Amino acid sequence: MPAPRRIRLGVSMIGMGYHLAAWRHPESSAGGNMELQHAVRVTQAAERGLLDMAFLADGVGIRFNDVPKGALSHTCKNVQFEPLTLLSALAMVTNHVGLVATASTTYNEPYHIARKFASLDHISGGRAGWNVVTSATDMEAQNFGLVGAPPKTGRYDRAAEFVEVVKGLWNSWEDDAFVRDKAQGINYDPDKLHILDHEGAHFRVMGPLNVARTPQGRPIIVQAGASDQGRELAAATADVIYAASQTLEDARAYYDDVKRRMAAYGREPDQLKIMPGIMAVPGATRQEAQDKYEVLQQRVEPIVGLAALANYLGDLSAYDLDGPLPEPDPADRRDHSRGQIFLDIARRGNLSIRQLYLSIAGGNGHRLVIGTPSDIVDAMQDWFEGGGADGFNLLPTWLPGGLEDVVETVIPEMQRRGLYRTAYEGKTLRENLGLAWPEHPATAAKRAAIADAVGHAAE
């Protein structure tokens, strides 16, 4: 009997929370984004909730345009821990939860990324994941010698080769290469060392990696691109996708499309878990949930709301806040699928500028569900069973409270319905996600050769 299909959960543990006003929540930590104990508390809450993984979004620079001027200082989108260093630290105070760090393929070198994630996988005992992003903002580009971000096509071309090189480096050593025979003085078996010697359009990398093959075979690969190229890269290489959809119809279309693309890469659909973002705000009653949400909504200043829109739709500060959204300049949609999501939201609801920014202040274009635990599980179950999701990436309004609410009230309801684990299934993130062991190509070849020989002998 196969294990029942269960909802996977991750959590975005960025800074003070996902809501624009999270840092102004009356109970939020005074130490802000750079308080280690805050991050410890968040990750431990995720583990108490038996979540598959805690996910750290990242930019190599501030990613929030200070438009209208002055807006940035009214947000907490300024400083944060660097993800890999933080997750290594958090690995020491947790035992089961997966630790997913974002890293850019546009401004890094594959060798560094391969090493750092392999190292995190060893340190955490097999819980590392890499959220592969291509870094869309000009602000990041300017920290790396450029004036603006390279065109998206070029970024994704580089990303595809980058991931290939990293995966190759992770296979530098077979799983059992290190014999460490002290008496004979043989540290490793030279036949189990594989030199990559990669030469491609973007990279020339010799190898080997100076880190052993990892507890998960290789770290988990996460992707979040929604464009055609983003989907193709995910279908080819990702284990998990963070998606952003507003309706089941959209979610299902995305889900079907990406899973269909996998066949071309010889992959089974269930080897990729699609997890749309969801901002879940539970309360004992619907009113209580709504009231909780209002605590944050009331703290969204117009300048901050306008800035959140400006990042994807251009500066709207010359327009009446309570008037309609002007037709945006296509140049302002910034080469990014998020701008289109915002436009769709505005059009679907016929929203004013103020209504639009208030409606995305929480989930930033992700799905928002405010209600009782039962309402929230209904919403998840609907998409999970309706072919729109394998799980969800929780976007807590504020941290740790927004996450702790979900852990304490929503998870038990999911468990009651048999939709969620009651204990971690395995020791590694890969096992918990139900993903197959990535056999080393050389090991696979040897196995095949043995099977062949046995077959011949039996003839």
Ligand X SMILES: Cc1cc2nc3c(=O)[nH]c(=O)nc-3n(C[C@H](O)[C@H](O)[C@H](O)COP(=O)(O)O)c2cc1C
Binding mask 163-182 for a copy of itself (x = CB under 8 A): ----------x----x-x-x
Q: Does 34 bind a copy of itself (CB under 8 A)?
A: yes
For every residue of 256-319, DSSP letters joined together read HHHHHHGGGGT--GGGSEEEEEEEEEE-SSHHHHHHHHHHHHTT--HHHHHHHHHHHH---TTS
With CB under 8 A as the contact rule, the residue among 95, 210, 247, 298 that binds a copy of itself is: 210
**Binds a copy of itself by CB under 8 A, chosen from 44, 48, 68, 115:** 115
How many chain residues touch ligand X (CB under 6 A)?
18
**Cβ contact 282:411 at 8 Å:** no
DSSP string, 388-406: S-SEEEE--SSTTHHHHHI
Which range, of 135-143, 260-268, 328-336, 436-444, touches a copy of itself by CB under 8 A?
Answer: 135-143
Give 184's Cβ-side CA count (13 Å radius). 7
Please state the closest distance from residue 179 (CB atom) to ligand X, in A. 27
The yes or no reply on residue 111 touching a copy of itself (CB under 8 A) is yes
266 binds a copy of itself (CB under 8 A): no
Residue 212 touches a copy of itself, criterion: CB under 8 A = yes
**230 contributes a contact to ligand X by CB under 6 A:** yes
Look-up: residue for tokens 């947790």?
94
Q: How many residues are listed for the chain in this entry? A: 459
d(CA 354, CA 359): 8
- Under the binding rule (CB under 6 A), the answer on residue 400 touching ligand X is no
Is residue 57 involved in binding ligand X (CB under 6 A)? yes
Window 281 to 340, contacts with ligand X (CB under 6 A): 336-337
Q: Scan residues 236-255 and list those touching ligand X (CB under 6 A).
A: 242, 244
- DSSP state letters, 36-55: HHHHHHHHHHHHHTT-SEEE
Q: Which of 169, 234, 170 is nearest to 206 (CA)?
A: 169
226 binds, among ligand X, a copy of itself, none (CB under 5 to 8 A by kind): ligand X
CA distance 170 to 189: 17
20 neighbors 308 (Cβ within 8 angstroms): yes
48: partner contacted, choices a copy of itself, ligand X, none (Cβ within 5-8 A by kind): none
Task: Summarize as ranges the residues that interact with ligand X (CB under 6 A).
Answer: 57-59, 102, 133-136, 224-227, 230, 242, 244, 277, 336-337
